[in-house]
């Protein structure tokens, strides 16, 4: 990393072809990086780069081809060496730096799991964070040299650098290093305000009052290190909690660094968090997902990105139609941590905000949810409703996992998540494979034993119903009958979902009756030995409904 923040990079990649006779190999790299030279086992290879408008419009990165000096043989290991340079590091003001091409600053051939040996040479007045165990860290004149090596294979290696203050914690055998900028980025600096000076009230006078004086006052800037210690504690606690539920994270060392903007990203061993997560007060309207600004940036975001150490970095997906799974699992894992740390009521409020965001009506009069099923993935971004992708992927995705938890039960649900990590560690899972796995953990004799109806409605379909329950009690104890009627509205005629009705009794265990909803009112009967104390529709906030 040069003093002007440009980069000159040498990347060496071990390649083992799966097929014989390959004459070209495709790679991706950020358009901000230019590849100047490639060798294969030390021999010059031809680089073919095509400036295609169509490719530029449909891909975030540039595709280029490498033609080795001779066809590659299956099973043999080759070393590709790339020389590339460019600028992917930018200054957001006052030396607050950030990396723009976080996942493509070096050549990639898909997101394959690999061991990384990372050696950086950069100005010594900067700090650098990147995944892996520290092998070397020293200064050489005006330069600092840092080398890290990953103890296990990861999909991608990101980095960040800046002028940081650190908070380091060890928790449960894991090390969390949270970095905060010492200065605030330009976009968050307070703007000067015009203040009118009002003279003090004095003795009445016939003299006309003096003109009111105006002056420019700049409010004090927010402190970008205000929540450094508490943020480190929160991330460490979330990491420890999730490891206890799912299994070990990708790496045992996790760095967290700030990035300008209103988003976060969770890479193996490195989390980018919006600078807003570091501030004590985050004013503003509700965030795009429905939560308040403060709730999103100070509670949800860091736990969500921490959860990506498992969902997205150990378990992956191979298709955009399955990508909702990683975001839904990460977001619901964040809600599980919030449930533990702040209570179930806080999670209910977040889920309520997600539901409200899904029910917002656009100019066409249609709800956000009706823009399409969650498996459309990034295609939801092209809809006429710009809020659809986020609200459906994160909000409805969290509701889908919440409803599965209600169907499976807590003990089986957490066992299912642990099995998911074990079975698909460093592998891709599909939506259908996830359905099959979840069905394995249903209680015996469950309705919809393969979860086909559940997935058809909530994952492959759209609709949020309004539900109404009425009931009467007939007969005498101990031969009572509860006769109930479930009425559904505000959804298409083919909408059907299993609805939990809980019958609370004075003695013994409560009864949960799962009633399939339908276009017409559904009548059901439950035999009882004693009169119910209460009959409630979805009392545990487990169903996405109006």
Residue 63 to residues 66, 108, 423, Cα–Cα distance (Å): 10, 10, 33
Range of weakest confidence among 22-31, 132-141, 287-296, 476-485: 287-296
The closest alpha carbon to 155, from 267, 287, 296, 252, belongs to 267
Q: H helices within 374-484, ranges in order?
A: 388-390, 397-408, 410-423, 431-440, 452-458
* Distance separating alpha carbons of residues 222 and 227, to the nearest angstrom: 11
Task: Check pLDDT > 60 for residue 106.
Answer: yes
- Of 423, 438, 458, the last residue of a domain is 458
At 129-171, the pLDDT tens digits run 999 999 999 999 999 999 999 999 999 999 999 999 999 999 8
Task: Check pLDDT > 90 for residue 36.
Answer: yes
Higher pLDDT, 276 or 383: 276
Q: Are residues 331 and 402 in the same domain?
A: yes
The closest alpha carbon to 510, from 497, 518, 501, belongs to 501
Q: Please answer whether residues 440 and 267 qualify as being in contact, where contact means their C-beta atoms are separated by less than 8 angstroms.
A: no
Q: Are residues 354 and 474 in the same domain?
A: no
Could you tell me the residue range of the domain that residue 503 belongs to?
466-537
In 41-105, at which residue ranges do the beta strands (DSSP E only) sit?
Answer: 43-44, 46-49, 62-67, 78-86, 89-91, 97-99
- Of 458, 481, 514, the last residue of a domain is 458
Interior angle at CA 375, CA 373 and CA 379, nearest 5: 85
Identify the pLDDT of residue 293.
79
Q: Is 139 helix (H, G, I), strand (E, B) or coil?
A: strand
Task: Check pLDDT > 90 for residue 365.
Answer: no
All residues at 6 or more sequence positions from 160 whose CB lies less than 8 Å from its CB, including other chains: 97, 98, 99, 102, 128, 129, 130, 179, 257, 259, 270, 272
The torsion angles phi and psi of 355, rounded to 5 degrees, stand at: -60, -45
The closest alpha carbon to 176, from 109, 93, 233, belongs to 233
pLDDT band at 196 (very low <50, low <70, confident <90, very high): low
Answer whether residue 178 is part of any domain: no
Considering only CA atoms, give the Rg of the chain. Answer: 28
Q: Are residues 441 and 369 in the same domain?
A: yes
pLDDT band at 285 (very low <50, low <70, confident <90, very high): low
Q: Please answer whether residues 354 and 395 qualify as being in contact, where contact means their C-beta atoms are separated by less than 8 angstroms.
A: yes
Answer whether residue 249 is part of any domain: no
Answer whether residue 250 is part of any domain: no
Task: Check pLDDT > 70 for residue 203.
Answer: no
Tokens 């959804």 map to which residue? 491
pLDDT band at 217 (very low <50, low <70, confident <90, very high): low
Name the token pair of 451: 């979860």
* Distance separating alpha carbons of residues 415 and 442, to the nearest angstrom: 11
Higher pLDDT, 141 or 212: 141
Q: Please answer whether residues 36 and 81 qualify as being in contact, where contact means their C-beta atoms are separated by less than 8 angstroms.
A: no
Range of weakest confidence among 107-121, 228-242, 349-363, 380-394: 380-394
pLDDT band at 278 (very low <50, low <70, confident <90, very high): very high
Identify the pLDDT of residue 387.
86
Q: Are residues 329 and 446 in the same domain?
A: yes
* Distance separating alpha carbons of residues 106 and 66, to the nearest angstrom: 14
Determine how many CB atoms are found less than 10 A away from the CB of residue 162.
Answer: 24
Q: Are residues 503 and 428 in the same domain?
A: no
* Distance separating alpha carbons of residues 349 and 275, to the nearest angstrom: 24
* Distance separating alpha carbons of residues 544 and 359, to the nearest angstrom: 11
For the beta sheet containing 480-489, the strands, ordered from the edge strand earlier in sequence to the opposite edge, are 466-474, 480-489, 522-528
Q: What is the pTM for the complete model shown?
A: 0.89
Work out the percent of the chain whose per-residue pLDDT is above 70. Answer: 90
Domain count, the chain: 3
Q: Please answer whether residues 85 and 36 qualify as being in contact, where contact means their C-beta atoms are separated by less than 8 angstroms.
A: yes
Element (DSSP H or E) covering residue 333: helix 324-342
Answer whether residue 194 is part of any domain: no
Q: Are residues 366 and 499 in the same domain?
A: no
pLDDT band at 292 (very low <50, low <70, confident <90, very high): confident
Higher pLDDT, 229 or 296: 229
**If you average pLDDT over every residue of the chain, what do you get?**
91
Q: Is 426 helix (H, G, I), strand (E, B) or coil?
A: coil
Tell me how far apart the terminal alpha carbons of the chain are, to the nearest angstrom.
53
Q: Are residues 110 and 85 in the same domain?
A: yes
CATH code at 16? 2.60.40.1730
Q: Are residues 443 and 316 in the same domain?
A: yes
The DSSP annotation for 219-283 comes to PPPP-TTTTHHHHHHHHHHHHHHHHHHH---S-SEEEEEEESSS--EEETTEEEEEGGGGSS---
* Distance separating alpha carbons of residues 393 and 388, to the nearest angstrom: 8
Residue 173: DSSP 8-state? T
Answer whether residue 265 is part of any domain: no
Answer whether residue 443 is part of any domain: yes
Q: Are residues 122 and 105 in the same domain?
A: yes
Tokens 């501030």 map to which residue? 279
Q: Please answer whether residues 390 and 441 qualify as being in contact, where contact means their C-beta atoms are separated by less than 8 angstroms.
A: no
CATH code at 324? 1.10.390.10
Residue 243 to residues 174, 410, 414, 416, 455, Cα–Cα distance (Å): 10, 17, 12, 14, 28
List the beta bridge partners of residue 274. 259
Name the token pair of 57: 């419009």
Q: Are residues 384 and 478 in the same domain?
A: no
Task: Check pLDDT > 50 for residue 208.
Answer: no
Q: Are residues 387 and 515 in the same domain?
A: no
pLDDT band at 53 (very low <50, low <70, confident <90, very high): very low
Answer whether residue 192 is part of any domain: no
Answer whether residue 234 is part of any domain: no
Q: Are residues 442 and 485 in the same domain?
A: no
- Of 120, 145, 162, the last residue of a domain is 162
The closest alpha carbon to 158, from 91, 111, 126, belongs to 111
The DSSP annotation for 195-228 comes to EEEPPPP-S--SSPPPPPEEEEEPPPPP-TTTTH
At 496-536, the pLDDT tens digits run 999 999 999 988 889 999 999 999 999 999 999 999 999 99
Over residues 416-443, mean pLDDT = 98
């Amino acid at each position: 990393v040069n003093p002007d923040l440009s980069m000159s990079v040498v990347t060496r990649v071990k390649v083992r072809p799966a097929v014989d006779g390959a004459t070209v190999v495709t790679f991706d790299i950020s358009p901000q990086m230019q590849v100047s030279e490639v060798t294969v086992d030390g021999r010059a290879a031809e680089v073919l780069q095509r400036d295609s408008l169509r490719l530029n419009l449909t891909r975030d990165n540039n595709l280029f081809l490498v033609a080795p000096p001779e066809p590659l043989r299956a099973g043999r290991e080759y070393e590709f060496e790339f020389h590339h340079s460019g600028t992917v590091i930018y200054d957001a003001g006052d030396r607050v730096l950030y990396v723009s091409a976080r996942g493509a600053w070096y050549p990639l051939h898909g997101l394959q799991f690999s061991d990384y040996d990372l050696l950086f040479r950069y100005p010594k007045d900067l700090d650098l964070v990147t995944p892996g165990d520290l092998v070397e860290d020293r200064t050489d004149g005006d330069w600092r040299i840092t080398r890290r090596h990953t103890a296990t294979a990861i999909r991608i290696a990101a980095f960040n650098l800046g002028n940081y203050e650190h908070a380091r914690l060890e928790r449960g055998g894991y090390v969390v290093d949270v970095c905060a900028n010492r200065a605030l980025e330009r976009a968050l600096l307070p703007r000067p305000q015009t203040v009118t000076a009002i003279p003090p009230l004095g003795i009445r006078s016939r003299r006309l009052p003096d003109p009111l004086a105006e002056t420019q006052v700049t409010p004090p800037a927010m402190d970008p290190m205000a929540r450094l210690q508490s943020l480190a504690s929160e991330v460490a606690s979330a990491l420890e909690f999730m490891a206890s539920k799912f299994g070990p994270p990708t790496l045992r060392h996790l760095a967290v660094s700030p990035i300008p903007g209103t988003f976060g990203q969770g890479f193996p061993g490195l989390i980018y968090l919006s600078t807003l997560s570091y501030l004590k007060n985050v004013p503003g309207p509700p965030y795009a997902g429905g939560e308040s600004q403060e709730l999103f940036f100070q509670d949800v975001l860091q736990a969500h990105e921490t959860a990506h150490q498992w969902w997205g970095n150990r378990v992956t997906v191979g298709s955009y139609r399955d990508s909702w799974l990683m975001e839904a699992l990460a977001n619901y894992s964040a809600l599980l941590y919030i449930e533990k740390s702040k209570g179930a009521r806080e999670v209910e409020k977040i889920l309520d905000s997600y539901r409200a965001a899904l029910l917002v009506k656009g100019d066409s009069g249609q709800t956000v949810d009706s823009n399409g099923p969650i498996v459309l993935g990034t295609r939801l971004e092209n809809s006429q409703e710009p809020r659809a992708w986020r609200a459906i992927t994160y909000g409805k995705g969290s509701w889908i996992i919440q409803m599965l938890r209600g169907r499976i039960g807590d003990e089986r649900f957490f066992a299912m998540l642990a099995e998911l990590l074990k079975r698909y560690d460093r592998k891709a899972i599909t939506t259908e494979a996830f359905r099959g796995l979840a069905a394995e953990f249903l209680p015996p004799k469950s309705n919809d034993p393969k979860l086909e109806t559940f997935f058809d409605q909530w994952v492959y379909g759209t609709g949020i119903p309004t539900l109404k329950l009425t009931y009467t009690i007939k007969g005498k104890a101990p031969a009572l009958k509860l006769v109930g009627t479930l009425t559904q509205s505000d959804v298409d005629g083919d909408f059907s979902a299993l609805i939990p009705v809980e019958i609370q009794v004075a003695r013994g265990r409560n009864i949960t009756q799962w009633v399939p909803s339908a276009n017409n009112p559904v009548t059901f009967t439950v035999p009882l030995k004693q009169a119910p104390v209460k009959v409630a529709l979805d009392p545990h906030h487990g169903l996405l409904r109006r």
